[in-house]
Amino acid sequence: MDRSTNNSAVLDPSWVDEVLLAGPAADICLRLPEPVDRGTLRHLIGAAQTRLTAAGLRAGGAAALRLPPSLAYVVNLLATWRLGAQAVLLDHRLTDHEVDRALARLTPQVVVAPVRSGGGALRVFVEVTEGVVPFSAHPAVSGHAVIQLSSGSTGPSKVIGRTAADLIAEVRRYTRIDGVALPGERIILLPSMVHVLGLVGGLLYGLHAGVELVGPERLVGDAVLASIRAQNTPATVLGVPFHIGLLASSRADGPLPQLVRMTTGGELVPAATVQAFTDRFGVPLGNMYGMTEVGVIGTDLYGRNRPAVVPAPGIEVRVVGGELQVSCPASPYVGLTDPGRWADGWLHTRDAGIVDAATGLVTIKGRLDSQVSVGGLKVDLTEVEATLTALPGVAAAVVVQDDGITAYVQPDGPLSEAALEELLAERLAGYKRPRTLHLLDRLPRTTTGKLVRAVPVLRAALP
């Protein structure tokens, strides 16, 4: 990593106490699942600062956190920032090979990883005893407060940095979004706090706004419902489309007056799934659109404009050549100068979109590269995929251009290629239909639960 132009200046740590940790010491801020009040959290952070410093972390350096969702993760993250250092977030599900590559590139001063953990594979938040080991004497590769790796759903992960000012702005942006959890309420957090939705939309916003962050005992539907029922305060479930299936699989005995809504980020949710959810639970299924690079871009938390979203407060969007672009004053990429991703203050989302001139509503039309030509006729692979996903017996589908339109389908019960082709023939013109259909027991997903769309990965998943 070339550090010649990177800012390794000391990060001002005051924002942690001012923006995230302010408030009465006795207030419960986390239930993971045991309650943690602000006074206890501040004490734990102070102890972690001592351990990190003893291992060699200094202001302007970086700590790599390879921890599963846990109180240890929260404490070490905030302790790193409180020391004026950069936090490099490594998903605990990454392989040793992937982690080694990231560490070699980012050269943190210390690495924090579990020496012991427990609680079972389906626990949302696990019990962790962490160890801190020295790694290098280098300063951080940039002046960002946090380094994240992109989900990698369409190709190799990108290294993305966000400053403390970026994080503060997004946290405050959340406070102005109509429909978010309010002070005194709860967020039932299902996505990982390593990635932007769980990190900012869950952890940081909750700490800032006085919203209690709750982790269910286990990542199963009945446990999620039990966490909603456990207290009388209003609860918002925050997750990704994958988590809708968890709630759908629950018994849901009796009413759930505490449930206000579920909000999902990531992939678009099929209309049939939305209807099934709202029919069953009687609350809105909200939608958020965002990117690791800038956080939340638009929301539709009441389900009024689906599939369109309202730009988040302070977010400026435009469409150029059919591509949705988002105002972003500085490049969020570390060591990447690709003008196809960021140029002249604009982030290129690589999503096709439409901005309604009258209402300002933004409709996401899918990946920009989903538009292909078949015999001179334009085909939107997003349309083909949505049609497939809506078919009975289909749990999930990915449609790509791979020597012709190719569909990878995960059945939900008995399903044959012949039956699929017959159903598609009723719904799509011949030139739009997949040339090749592959049925897989399970489609590949990223660590955040997104369907992988990289052709080599999909090919490798074939039996």
Tell me what pLDDT residue 336 has: 67
- Map out the domains of the chain with their CATH numbers: 14-303 (3.40.50.12780), 316-373 (no CATH), 375-460 (3.30.300.30)
Q: Place 176 in a pLDDT band, splitting at 50, 70 and 90.
A: very high
Average pLDDT, integer, range 396-423: 90
* CA angle (224 as vertex; 219, 227 as ends), nearest 5: 125
3-state class (DSSP) for residue 159: strand
Average pLDDT, integer, range 371-376: 73
Cβ-based neighbours of 390, under 8 Å, separated by 6 or more:
270, 271, 272
Residue pLDDT, tens place only, 212-247 = 999 998 888 899 999 999 999 999 999 988 888 788
Share of the chain above pLDDT 90, in %: 62
Q: How far apart are CA 223 and CA 225, in angstroms?
A: 5
Place of tokens 């199963």: 220
3-state class (DSSP) for residue 237: strand
